[in-house]
Chain A
């Protein structure tokens, strides 16, 4: 087995991983960094983020406003110390990106422009047309090339964390072009592997968003926190699930039902006029908008399509010039995929799984409870997002906590002392390799990857969607446990070593099943409605019993063990979430 000795191992080279790598390189150029990713950095899913990144920069804005929007947007399940830190740090991080060349859209005088976003009281979302994540990712990737201490291992699929007496000491990864197992021995490890939207059948997430890093930390004993909170974005294209940014509504787009009626006014988000009004109607938070769709559908006021029911996003009044300038990708995607030109046509949309609020449990330093192990970005749960993330807070999160993970990993490495190769780690690495070899050797496996994945996808959508109840969740938990059992008999059909995507899809499916189980069990046990977790059988928020983080711990042979942890409340006591005219 090939061995790579390094100071810091970073798993994942999207926005958070690249930001962490640059932070380590800047803090101490003598430290060696192994940046390990299953895809080339520019393929990472950060590239698909469209709308922007929120950060206080205009005179009319304040850090308190951003704090309050984020805490109430998260239905008070956010940790307020983390939010405080986040809103303070993010303007600096966005400015840093500007210095590194990010092509932010500008005002006439040359200052960075901002746009409106859902649930935000003030226009504070920095954007680069409707390709903000793309430009941030490429800026970070290209900037990372300045630092000789960052050594990339592109197209390496990480399989397991190496843990010695409760201390994380590295990971094993398969080099995809050869199939060779490599042991990365590191004094610290930062997981930046992104979300897990692919556990659902209808998602904005790319094929690579399979929760590998979440599952790896979870199997190693670290809790996955608040996994029941899954964000549905209200405006996905039907059929493909392609995202149309909230920026469509930030720029003035309207949502109408089959009668051309702006239905959001019926769900405590109105009145519809005057428009635009921040934190109202189409600029409400994502959870509330997706829930409103569900009710419109129940009332028979949505529009049937071959890909299921839809509502219409109306951008026609914005005009061609503004659409081309601010929303060019949206126009391209809409015309190509559903044959609707936003300049002249209504665009059909429906809610689509977009983001995991939950993830690997970390503190505000991006440190997990396991010594030497850090996590940042969508794979982590700090938590600044609580029960519902506000649009344009995640691009900021990956910068602030990616940088923080890097900085704290450096501090940790300095105190970690020298690292001996020991027999325990070598045995773990050999075991990880043996598990892969066993997959190759297994004959007669009956379970097909595509069938297992479909069963997992469908039961999550049916039982664990925008609205859930006891019966639907019990059914989903049972079916996922069944899928998990059947996975033990999964069949690998391609036994070759070079870029074997049958193997990687099989391993990804294993990760997704573990993650899916935490989502369903955590949802079953949270008997209240809060943010993106809505129970038809427990319709109100229950602060007495559930103002707590769900902590799911791995159990090799059964359901995850669920515990609860306190929410950090500093200056904002839980109150009713208010949107619409009353929020003014």
Chain B
């Protein structure tokens, strides 16, 4: 097995003892097939028990281990050491308060997720005895991509708008709203509109597209936001037509 020593510069912050964050360097003997998460686990087990970070599945589905690696928001379980030279700088996700070391406070995101009513709002409740709703593969495809979001928050870390204005509902929550709006079983779009189409919703997005670039699941939140902008604008314009809401 071939090993090489990597320098991990890890941002540390323990609110009970540190005035401000600082970097701590660990020299870690790494296996060639490791990901950054494996190197952090080595530090935790063999070098420094006080380092804290979140992780669980190690297979890109739980979304726990988002961090900024050499300036890019990444999942630590999907950041292969083979793609880095000898030094790696690891920071907590940007645009969130640091709770401790690489652990960020995500209350704000959870509130935003809840605010977009991310669940099916049916036209009327269908009794179970009538079986499933029919949904063709084409209807499934209309929203499937937006259902792949695992809430890893890389997009919030990359989003310049969220960095400037934390009231912005943000990429993942807006993409999730769009996921339900596009679902053939759902009629809840108007119930979501007051959050989604608000000043802090889609219209705050400056369409830089950084969210879609960093998304590890190709959810394309930027594309979702553009689609919602278009349909909301159409709604607004048609409201002036005879029979419209205005």
Q: A110-B136, A493-B50 are in contact. Are A206 and B78 (CB under 8 A)?
A: no
* Interface contact B14-A106, CB-CB below 8 Å: no
**Residue A222 is within 8 A (CB to CB) of chain B in the complex:** no
**Residue B63 is within 8 A (CB to CB) of chain A in the complex:** yes
Contact of B53 among A111, A500, A501 (CB under 8 A): A501
* Interface contact B52-A500, CB-CB below 8 Å: yes
* Interface contact B33-A329, CB-CB below 8 Å: no
Residues of B within 8 A of A242 (CB): 58-59
* Interface contact B185-A101, CB-CB below 8 Å: yes
* Interface contact B16-A496, CB-CB below 8 Å: yes
Q: A42-B151, A100-B120, A337-B33 are in contact. Are A498 and B100 (CB under 8 A)?
A: yes
Chain B: number of interface residues, binned into ranges: 35 or more
Residues of A within 8 A of B176 (CB): 142
Residues of B within 8 A of A332 (CB): 60
* Interface contact B62-A177, CB-CB below 8 Å: no
Q: A206-B57, A450-B46 are in contact. Are A103 and B52 (CB under 8 A)?
A: no
**Residue A66 is within 8 A (CB to CB) of chain B in the complex:** no
Q: Closest CB of chain B to A313's CB: distance in Å?
A: 16
User: Restricting to B73-101, which residues have a CB under 8 Å from any CB of A?
Assistant: 78, 80, 99-101
* Interface contact A103-B147, CB-CB below 8 Å: yes
User: Restricting to A89-127, which residues have a CB under 8 Å from any CB of B?
Assistant: 92, 95-96, 98-101, 103-106, 108-112
* Interface contact B16-A99, CB-CB below 8 Å: no
Q: A47-B57, A101-B186 are in contact. Are A336 and B49 (CB under 8 A)?
A: no
**Residue A363 is within 8 A (CB to CB) of chain B in the complex:** no
* Interface contact B136-A99, CB-CB below 8 Å: no
Q: Closest CB of chain A to B207's CB: distance in Å?
A: 26
User: Measured between alpha carbons, how far is A106 from B122 in the docked complex, in Å?
Assistant: 19
* Interface contact B128-A45, CB-CB below 8 Å: no
- Most A CB contacts (10 A, CB to CB) among B16, B58, B59 go to B59
* Interface contact A494-B140, CB-CB below 8 Å: no
User: Measured between alpha carbons, how far is A28 from B128 in the docked complex, in Å?
Assistant: 20
* Interface contact A336-B46, CB-CB below 8 Å: no
**Residue B227 is within 8 A (CB to CB) of chain A in the complex:** no
User: Restricting to B173-229, which residues have a CB under 8 Å from any CB of A?
Assistant: 176, 180, 183, 185-186
**Residue A306 is within 8 A (CB to CB) of chain B in the complex:** yes
User: Measured between alpha carbons, how far is A105 from B131 in the docked complex, in Å?
Assistant: 15
**Residue A499 is within 8 A (CB to CB) of chain B in the complex:** yes
**Residue B164 is within 8 A (CB to CB) of chain A in the complex:** no
User: Per-residue 0/1 for B15-29: is the Cβ within 8 Å of any A Cβ (1 yes, 0 no)?
Assistant: 111000000000000
Q: A496-B17, A498-B16 are in contact. Are A48 and B61 (CB under 8 A)?
A: yes
Contact of B133 among A40, A99, A207, A502 (CB under 8 A): A99
* Interface contact B14-A496, CB-CB below 8 Å: yes
**Residue A555 is within 8 A (CB to CB) of chain B in the complex:** no
* Interface contact B99-A45, CB-CB below 8 Å: no
**Residue A243 is within 8 A (CB to CB) of chain B in the complex:** yes
User: Measured between alpha carbons, how far is A497 from B180 in the docked complex, in Å?
Assistant: 40
**Residue A382 is within 8 A (CB to CB) of chain B in the complex:** no
**Residue A145 is within 8 A (CB to CB) of chain B in the complex:** yes
User: Measured between alpha carbons, how far is A109 from B137 in the docked complex, in Å?
Assistant: 8
**Residue A376 is within 8 A (CB to CB) of chain B in the complex:** no
User: Restricting to B138-190, which residues have a CB under 8 Å from any CB of A?
Assistant: 139-140, 143-144, 147-148, 150-151, 176, 180, 183, 185-186
Residues of B within 8 A of A336 (CB): 78, 80
Residues of A within 8 A of B15 (CB): 498
Q: Closest CB of chain B to A54's CB: distance in Å?
A: 16
Residues of B within 8 A of A142 (CB): 118-119, 176
* Interface contact A333-B59, CB-CB below 8 Å: yes
* Interface contact B136-A108, CB-CB below 8 Å: yes
Residues of B within 8 A of A215 (CB): none
- Most A CB contacts (10 A, CB to CB) among B58, B113, B144, B185 go to B58
Residues of B within 8 A of A498 (CB): 14-16, 99-100
User: Per-residue 0/1 for A28-67: is the Cβ within 8 Å of any B Cβ (1 yes, 0 no)?
Assistant: 0000000000011011110110000000000000000000
Count the A residues whose beta carbon is within 8 Å of the partner chain — how many?
59
Contact of A98 among B58, B113, B132, B147 (CB under 8 A): B132
- Nearest B residue to A126 by beta-carbon distance? B132
* Interface contact A110-B135, CB-CB below 8 Å: yes
**Residue B106 is within 8 A (CB to CB) of chain A in the complex:** yes
Residues of B within 8 A of A208 (CB): 56
* Interface contact B140-A146, CB-CB below 8 Å: no
Residues of B within 8 A of A24 (CB): none
Among A130-138, A281-289, A293-301, A422-430, the stretch that binds chain B is: A130-138
User: Measured between alpha carbons, how far is A42 from B119 in the docked complex, in Å?
Assistant: 15
- Most A CB contacts (10 A, CB to CB) among B56, B101, B106, B126 go to B56
User: Restricting to A493-528, which residues have a CB under 8 Å from any CB of B?
Assistant: 493-494, 496-502, 505
Q: Closest CB of chain A to B46's CB: distance in Å?
A: 7
Q: A101-B183, A108-B136 are in contact. Are A47 and B62 (CB under 8 A)?
A: yes
Q: Closest CB of chain A to B215's CB: distance in Å?
A: 13
Residues of B within 8 A of A143 (CB): 119-120
**Residue A471 is within 8 A (CB to CB) of chain B in the complex:** no
User: Measured between alpha carbons, how far is A108 from B141 in the docked complex, in Å?
Assistant: 12
* Interface contact B136-A207, CB-CB below 8 Å: no
Residues of B within 8 A of A109 (CB): 134, 136
* Interface contact B62-A146, CB-CB below 8 Å: no
Q: Closest CB of chain A to B195's CB: distance in Å?
A: 13
Q: Closest CB of chain A to B126's CB: distance in Å?
A: 6
Residues of B within 8 A of A47 (CB): 57, 61-62, 150
- Nearest A residue to B126 by beta-carbon distance? A99
User: Restricting to A239-289, which residues have a CB under 8 Å from any CB of B?
Assistant: 239-240, 242-243
Counting from the closest, the 5 A-B pairs by CB-CB distance are A110-B134, A450-B45, A206-B56, A493-B49, A499-B100
Contact sample, A vs B, 27 pairs, CB 8 Å cutoff: A43-B56, A43-B57, A47-B57, A47-B61, A47-B150, A48-B57, A48-B59, A48-B61, A99-B120, A103-B140, A104-B132, A106-B135, A109-B134, A111-B132, A112-B132, A131-B148, A134-B61, A142-B119, A142-B176, A177-B105, A206-B57, A206-B58, A207-B56, A240-B59, A496-B100, A498-B16, A501-B44
Chain A contact residues, CB within 8 Å of chain B:
39-40, 42-45, 47-48, 92, 95-96, 98-101, 103-106, 108-112, 131, 134-135, 138, 142-143, 145-146, 154, 177, 206-208, 239-240, 242-243, 306, 329, 332-333, 336-337, 449-450, 493-494, 496-502, 505
Q: A103-B147, A499-B100, A505-B44 are in contact. List 16 more A-B contacts (CB 8 A).
A: A39-B56, A42-B151, A45-B56, A99-B132, A99-B185, A101-B185, A105-B140, A106-B140, A110-B136, A112-B132, A138-B147, A239-B33, A493-B49, A493-B50, A499-B52, A501-B52
